[in-house]
Amino acid sequence: MSGGQGLGDAELERAEIDELADCWSRAWTDGAGFAACCTAGVSYEDPLAIRPLKGLDPVERHAATLRAAFPDVRVERTAPALQRGAHACIPWRLRGTHLGELAGLPATEEKLVIHGLHYLELVDDRISRARGFFDLYDGSVQLGLLPPRGGLGESALLLLRGFGLRRGKSSA
């Protein structure tokens, strides 16, 4: 604010989306509850959700599973949230140590740092739909569950999946 004037419309919108993004992050990490930032019929998808989740309770259970697997989980915003009309995007970084079961996999005690983002659809300044995107393969490599990219282990997995062998770069 300058010259004693109030926030302009753009600053007010940025403040509102930043507040919503902070509320969203707290719900994931602190169990603060999604009801504070989402509609009752919120729809949610991410690479770990087997099927889209519908409603506050399924999303709360999904987040609780993450917190149980990574009790020290932190979701940090990596850039300002962006909003245009009824759509928003929140870039984030998740940090945590895999100390509990996740999707039937026992704890690896490995540290995980993964970047991602959530695309949001908003209704009355609340999240009505959220889609999370992150590199599940990279996360699995960090936890020691899959081989690193570019190595023999990855080639063997691709061969087993029917993709054939990858050829190295040619020096033509």
Q: Is 92 within 8 Å of 78 (Cβ atoms)? A: yes
Q: Which amino acid belongs to residue 155?
A: S
Structural domain boundaries, residue 23: 9-160
What digits encode the pLDDT tens for the residues 61-118? 999 999 999 999 999 999 999 999 999 999 999 999 999 998 888 999 999 999 999 9
122-144 mean pLDDT: 94
Is residue 154 within 8 A of residue 148, CB to CB? The reply is yes
Q: How many domains does one find in the chain? A: 1
Q: pLDDT tens digits for 9-21?
A: 666 578 899 999 9
Task: Write out the E strands in the chain.
Answer: 38-45, 53-54, 74-77, 82-84, 87-97, 111-123, 126-134
Mean pLDDT, the chain, whole residue set: 86
Give domain status of residue 82, yes or no.
yes
Position 161 scores a pLDDT of 62
CATH of the domain at 18: 3.10.450.50
Is the pLDDT reported for residue 130 higher than 80? yes
On whether residue 114 sits in a domain, the answer given is: yes
Q: Give domain status of residue 104, yes or no.
A: yes
Q: Would you say residue 61 lies in a domain?
A: yes
| Contacts of 51 by beta carbon, 8 Å cutoff, 6+ apart | none
Token pair recorded at residue 134: 């992150």
Residue 171: per-residue pLDDT: 47
Burial 117-126 (b: 16+ CB within 10 A, else e): bbebbbeeeb
In sequence order, which residues have a C-beta less than 8 Å from that of residue 78 and are 6 or more positions away? 91, 92, 93, 115
pLDDT band at residue 2 using 50, 70 and 90 as cut-offs: very low
Asked if residue 166 is part of any domain, the answer here is: no
Residue 170, domain member (yes or no): no
Q: Is the pLDDT of residue 37 over 90?
A: yes
pLDDT number for residue 103: 81
Helix 56-69 vs helix 9-29: crossing angle, to nearest 10: 60
In a domain, 27, yes or no: yes
Whether 155 is in a domain gets the answer: yes
Instruction: Give the residue, 65 or 1, on which the prediction is more confident.
Output: 65
What pLDDT does 145 receive?
A: 80
Global model pTM greater than 0.85: no
